[in-house]
Amino acid sequence: MKKVYFLVALVAFTLTSCDKNEFEQTINPKNEFEQTINQEEVKFGGFKVNLPPNYNEKVLSLSLSDLQNQFYTNNTGGLMRAKSSESAGITLDEMSRIIDGILINYPNLDSLTTDEIEKIKINFPDLSSDEIVENINVVDSFYTSLVRYDLVQELTKTESKSNTGAFKVSSSSSSDDYLGSGVNTLEFWYLVWHPALVSPIRKASDKADSLTKSNYPESKRVSDKADAFRHALWNVLICKYIGEDKNKNAISDCTERAEDFTNRHVTGAEKPSSMTDAFWELDKKMDLHNNIQGRKYFESVAWIEKVGVFKVKRVRAPSEDVIVIAIKNKVNSARKISTLSDTSKYPNNLVYIID
């Protein structure tokens, strides 16, 4: 009889354990990109690297499409699926806050100190300090891959807090409505892929807005000379702030990033209901042209400088005060346009539509 009781108890215990395991797997599903072991040694950029705990090698090769699929798979609200001109429903401020919270978990590549080098060696154990500096682009790519993955996970959590399946973020900063529009979906995914650019772009957007208001307080900020000033200044400041802090060692790196982002801002913007289609196209042409003038100015005044203990290359530009004076001088020679082809007549001038 004791044997029978023992067998019954054993079967009951086994069934209970199975049910418990199945339940735990249901409430704690394993992410396919996460590891159950503490650390994994892999190859990246030709070097041996130690992944941080609980990460899978697949994280290092995720494409933008992979990240988008992860985001949409985890969200059923259909956010940002329909049109590129739709607002992403999240501000630069909020994206910056989320990314800053992620970046504290990784070495600061913008300021390479001895302490930061030692943190990097945890993941790149075979590299000396000098080799890390020489291969900083590979190091940057490694950490950027991890930050992109972390960012999508955090954005998923942020969206899931909304009852409507869209981001709902409030902020008092001018970047809420920077340069006349919120973050559209083209900008959103560009910043997901280039998370380190959020901070300098946010800073440049706030600064361009505030300097335009202080220098042109009477402006209505639509298609006039002040608007031309704002777009040109915005592009200069994006280039300047990227060059100051980020891992860019060529002037063209700064201008290309600024061009990529500001083109998405203009082409991905949604037409105001009060504006005709013809005027909208002319206004976009004006903005794109003035953006170019800002970047051309930056290229003409920027220089390369080696900074810090490890003499890392950084792009430098004049102060904001000097830049403002230069762009205001360009405003004084700005040309009025009325057709799309007019911009080609003024390859070196700012342009405007409304007096």
Whether this model's pTM surpasses 0.85 = no
Which residues fall within 8 angstroms of residue 295, CB to CB, at 6 or more apart? 235, 236, 239, 255, 258, 259
Which residues fall within 8 angstroms of residue 240, CB to CB, at 6 or more apart? 204, 254, 298, 302, 317, 323
The tens place of each residue's pLDDT in the chain, 355 residues long, gives 444 444 444 444 444 444 444 333 333 334 555 544 456 889 999 999 999 998 999 999 999 999 999 998 876 554 444 445 567 778 888 899 999 999 999 999 988 899 999 999 999 999 999 999 999 999 999 999 999 999 999 998 875 444 344 443 333 333 344 554 568 999 999 999 999 999 999 999 999 999 999 999 998 778 999 999 999 999 999 999 999 876 666 999 999 999 999 999 999 988 999 999 999 999 999 999 999 999 999 999 999 998 888 888 889 999 999 999 999 999 999 999 999 999 999 999 999 999 9
What is the Cα–Cα distance from 292 to 350, expressed in whole angstroms?
9
Cβ count near 280 (within 10 Å) = 14
The DSSP code sequence of 201-235 is HHHHHHHHHHHHHHH-TT---SSSHHHHHHHHHHH
Q: Which amino acid is at 171?
A: S
8 Å CB contact between 332 and 342: no
Which residues fall within 8 angstroms of residue 72, CB to CB, at 6 or more apart? 79, 81
Question: Which pLDDT score, from 0 to 100, does residue 12 have?
Answer: 47
Q: How far is CA 35 from CA 31, 39, 54, 57, 59, in A?
A: 8, 8, 4, 9, 11
299: phi then psi, degrees, rounded to nearest 5: -60, -30
Which residues fall within 8 angstroms of residue 137, CB to CB, at 6 or more apart? 247
Where are the alpha helices (H) located in the chain, listed in sequence order?
2-27, 64-73, 92-103, 114-123, 129-134, 136-160, 185-193, 198-215, 225-245, 251-267, 277-301, 320-332
